[in-house]
Structure 1
Amino acid sequence: MKVQESRENYLETILILQNRNGYVRSVDIAREMGFSKPSISRAMSVLRKADSIIMEDSGLITLTDSGRKIAENIYARHQLLTSFFIGLGVNAQTAAEDACRVEHDISEETFERLKVYMEQSGKS
C-alpha cells in the first residue's frame, strides 16, 4: 500500500467515524480498520506531524481543515465509485471493496468525467 493511500484510508475512516459516532478515538479506528493499537498510534503520530489531525489530551481525534478536505474528497470518490459499480450489476460488498482500491488511483480527469456521466444518467 502506498503511503498516500494509507494516509487517505486513515483520514476517510476518521471522517466516517466522526459522522457515525460524533467522536473518534484511536481504539475506534483500530476496531474499524482491524489494525492493532500500536499501528494506529504510529499512524496518528504521522498524521499529527502532517497537520491532518489534532489529538486532544482526552484522546479524542479531530480532522484539521486540510485533513478534512482530503477525507471528504476520498469519501466522495468512494461513494460515487461504489454507486457506479453497483449500477453495473456488481454486488454491494464487492462494489465497495473495489471502490476502496480504485478511489486512490483514479485520475482527477476520469473521476470528473465519471461524475458528469453519473449526473447525466441520473444515477448519482
Structure 2
Amino acid sequence: MTTERTEDYLKAIDTVIEKKGYSQVKDIARFLNVSPSSVTGMFKKLTKEGYINYEKYGGVTLTPEGKKLARSTKEKYSVLHEFLILLGVDEVTADDDACKMEHAVTLQTLEKLTKFSEFVNSKEEMPKFFLHFKEFCEKGEISDCKKKDKTISLDKQTRKACK
C-alpha cells in the first residue's frame, strides 16, 4: 500500500512533466515546498519501489506503474474537488480538503461521488434540492413545505406533510 507522501510526490511529478515536459529535483522541491534533499531522498525510495526512473543530477520520469498511481490520485482529487465546489465550499478550502481526502476515499465512494456529480452536472438547471440546500446553508433553517411544492425536508415530520 502506498503512503500519502508517495501519492503526493507522484502527482507532483506528473503535474510538472505535463506543464514543462520534464521534471527535476528542483521543480518538485518548489512544487511541494520542500527541500531539494528531501526530494532526492524520496526519489531514491520511489525508484526502489518502481514508481520512477531517476538519474542523479538529471531528470525524473514516471514508470507505467508510477503514472497509473499518479493519474488515479489526480482523478480522486478532481472528483472530490468538484463535489466540494458543488456543495458550495470555497475554492481554497475545497483544494485543501480534496488533497487530504484523496488519500482516504474508497473506490466505492469515489464512484458514487463521480456519478452524483455527473448527474447534477447533466441538468440544464440546478436541481431544486440544491437551491433548498443553499438556502439551508445560508439561513440555517429548512423552508416550510407546501404540499404543491413537494419539497422534501430533512426531518421526518415535514417529509410526511409533503406527501
TM-score under structure 1 length normalisation:
0.93
Deviation at 1:56, TM superposition (A): 3.6
- 1:102 matched residue in structure 2: 101
Matched, 1:92 2:91: yes
Change over 3 Å in CA distance of 1:58–1:39 after alignment to 2: closer
Greater RCO between the two (CA within 8 Å, min separation 6)?
1
For residues 16 and 57 of structure 1, what CA distance do their matches in structure 2 show?
A: 20
Structure 2: stretches of 5+ with no match in the other structure: 123-163
RMSD, aligned α-carbons: 1.6
Deviation at 1:21, TM superposition (A): 1.1
For residues 92 and 16 of structure 1, what CA distance do their matches in structure 2 show?
A: 19
Structure 1: stretches of 5+ with no match in the other structure: none
Give the letter for the 1:88 counterpart. L
The alignment-based identity, stated in percent, is: 34
* Residues 69-89 of structure 1, C-alpha deviations (whole Å, 9 max, x = no match): 000000011111111111111
- 1:42 matched residue in structure 2: 41
Deviation at 1:57, TM superposition (A): 5.7
- 2:75 matched residue in structure 1: 76
Q: Secondary structure of 2:68's partner?
A: helix
- 1:61 matched residue in structure 2: 60
Counterparts of residues 106-117 of structure 1 (less than 5 Å): 106-117=105-116
Q: Secondary structure of 1:54's partner?
A: strand
For residues 63 and 100 of structure 1, what CA distance do their matches in structure 2 show?
A: 21
Give the letter for the 2:102 counterpart. E
Matched, 1:14 2:9: no
For residues 88 and 13 of structure 2, what CA distance do their matches in structure 1 show?
A: 29
For residues 45 and 54 of structure 1, what CA distance do their matches in structure 2 show?
A: 9
Give the letter for the 1:65 counterpart. P
**Structure (1/2) with the larger helix percentage:** 1
TM-score under structure 2 length normalisation:
0.71
Deviation at 1:58, TM superposition (A): 5.6
